[in-house]
Amino acid sequence: MGLFTKKPMHLLMAEAGDNEKGLKRTLSAGSLVALGIGAIIGAGLFVRTAAAAAQNAGPSVTIGFIVAAIGCALAGLCYAELSSSIPISGSAYTYTYATMGELLAWVIGWDLVLEYAVGAATVGIAWSEYLNNLLVQVLHLKPIAYEWCHSPFEKSIADAAGVVHHGMMNIPALGIVSLLSLLLIKGTQESAFVNGLIVITKVSIVIMIIIFGWSFINPINHDNYIPASSIYTDSSGIDHHYGGIMGILGAAGVVFFAFIGFDAVSTAAQETKNPKTAMPIGILGSLAVCTVLYILFAHVLTGMAPVEFFRTDGKEASVVAAINKYMPGYAWLGKLVTVAILAGFSSVILVMLLGQSRVFYSMSKDGLLPPIFSEVHPKYKTPYKANLIIMILVGAFAAFVPGEVVGDMTSIGTLFAFILVCAAVIILRKTDPNLPRQFKTPLVPLVPILGILVCAAMILGLGWTNWLRLFVWLAIGFVIYFGYSKKRSHLK
């Protein structure tokens, strides 16, 4: 048995049918669409839109959203086929194990930690920042003391009286990660219900911004829809391609991060009532809904305010700033946006924690991680010990590590997973052509190959520093694999 031993398909299908000892099937197609929207609509919509307009594309950021959506849709079609054919928790990890062997499966499983666990911690830190904004701007209360909402490794600040404050611990970030982890332990169905309420709230507010903001669009701001090619240097001294084709591609790379999360739907395949039909609906449905909302939202936002506004006064809290300045009489909507951002962050954290625990569950069932990660609660039928361990690790990261340290590592992890999923579709069509496929990716191998090329192009734009971080992360993973997992693999 070598490093590239593949997990036999009959074992995967046997696990899918083992409902007595496994995870409880409670999710419908509608629940999966809501989970996907919950993971996708978060910081990306409210933050990345203005950043891409200011740095890369101006009003043509809407075209950037379309390009990014095409890349995600190509990968989404591949996810839909695999998740309907192999309805097992684990997402890209499971698909890679069945098609490319154990070593690459371990690599992608370890890599997904960057997307799910590190991503959840990062959003938890952002959630803490917006909680203070809610307390001060909306509720008119005192903010949480600097010491207790910042990492000890962040820069100290001095208040108006000259007193210097040092970060000690980010308690709100730790609190939201812990609360949502406990909700996941209680049950996936309950978590999906809470997530559904959050999704309704934030989607309603996004729609209100689109409807009310449409009448405040100034046609002058859309006159130069695709600006001429130039170089824009931001406040940090970093040059960006602005305008033209390169500007649009640059915007696509920026707003791609706003789509991260739809693949997390596939990690819940083993808890879905009818995964063969529900998984494709959940993955592609959530992606389609979010793409339409993103394009309309970007059109309204760039129509209300000129690009220069997003480079100066509207650089931070861009959406709220634009509403307050260019939509007189709608200050209440700006306050609701703050609530929507908090709700959006909460649902993103929830789905990321769900995805991480299910990937670890699958890796543990295969012997690549200790058995504790696949122990299911006798009553709630959830991997509660995995959730507790992840709560401690992610919570510690959120409480003590600055958010900017993570950088773009989450995106590299996601894009790498997309590439392997696209490749898995091609391989599985050759090695197991008779596998029942409720949903088939069209135009194979063209669609998967295009997905690989688009995702690879986005990876190339992330810079050598992020490649170095990824290399170090994977090196740590190899140490764990050869030191523990290889010897304990159930297939060996």
- Three-state helix/strand/coil letters over 432-485: CCCCCCCCCCCCCCHHHHHHHHHHHHHHHCCCHHHHHHHHHHHHHHHHHHHHHH
Cis peptide before 445 (omega within 30 of 0): yes
Residue type, 1: M
Residue 59 has what pLDDT?
92
Distance CA 64, CA 259 (A): 12
> Hey, what are 92's tokens?
């890209």
Residue 17 has what pLDDT?
57
Residue type, 349: I
Residue 24 has what pLDDT?
64
Cβ-Cβ contacts under 8 Å for 362 (sequence gap 6 or more): 88, 89, 90, 93, 94, 109, 374
Q: What is the 3-state secondary structure (H, E, C) of the chain?
A: CCCCCCCCHHHHHHHHHCCCCCCCCCECHHHHHHHHHHHHCCHHHHHHHHHHHHHHHHHHHHHHHHHHHHHHHHHHHHHHHHHHHCCCCCCHHHHHHHHCCHHHHHHHHHHHHHHHHHHHHHHHHHHHHHHHHHHHHHCCCCCCCHHHECCCCCCCEECCCCCEECCCCEHHHHHHHHHHHHHHHHCHHHHHHHHHHHHHHHHHHHHHHHHHHHCCCCHHHHCCCCCCCEEEECCCCCEEEECHHHHHHHHHHHHHHHHCCHHHHHHHHHHECCHHHHHHHHHHHHHHHHHHHHHHHHHHHHHHCCHHHHHCCCCCCHHHHHHHHHCCCCHHHHHHHHHHHHHHHHHHHHHHHHHHHHHHHHHHHCCCCCHHHHCCCCCCCCCHHHHHHHHHHHHHHHHHCCHHHCCCHHHHHHHHHHHHHHHHHHHHHHHCCCCCCCCCCCCCCHHHHHHHHHHHHHHHCCCHHHHHHHHHHHHHHHHHHHHHHHHHCCCC
Q: Which residue has the tokens 């000690």?
A: 168
- What structural domains and CATH numbers belong to the chain? 9-218+245-488 (1.20.1740.10)
> What's the pTM?
0.75
CB distance 353 to 387 below 8 Å: yes
Tens-digit pLDDT string for the chain (492 aa): 566 677 776 676 666 555 444 556 667 777 777 777 777 777 667 777 888 888 888 899 999 899 888 888 898 888 878 877 776 655 678 778 888 888 888 988 888 887 788 888 888 887 887 788 788 878 888 888 888 888 887 777 777 677 788 888 999 999 999 999 998 888 656 566 776 777 788 788 889 999 999 999 999 999 888 888 888 877 656 677 788 888 888 888 778 777 877 766 766 666 677 767 777 788 788 888 889 999 999 999 999 999 889 888 776 667 888 998 999 999 889 888 888 788 878 878 887 888 888 888 888 988 899 999 988 888 877 888 989 999 999 999 889 887 655 545 777 777 888 888 899 899 889 988 888 787 788 899 999 999 999 888 877 766 677 778 888 888 999 999 999 988 888 876
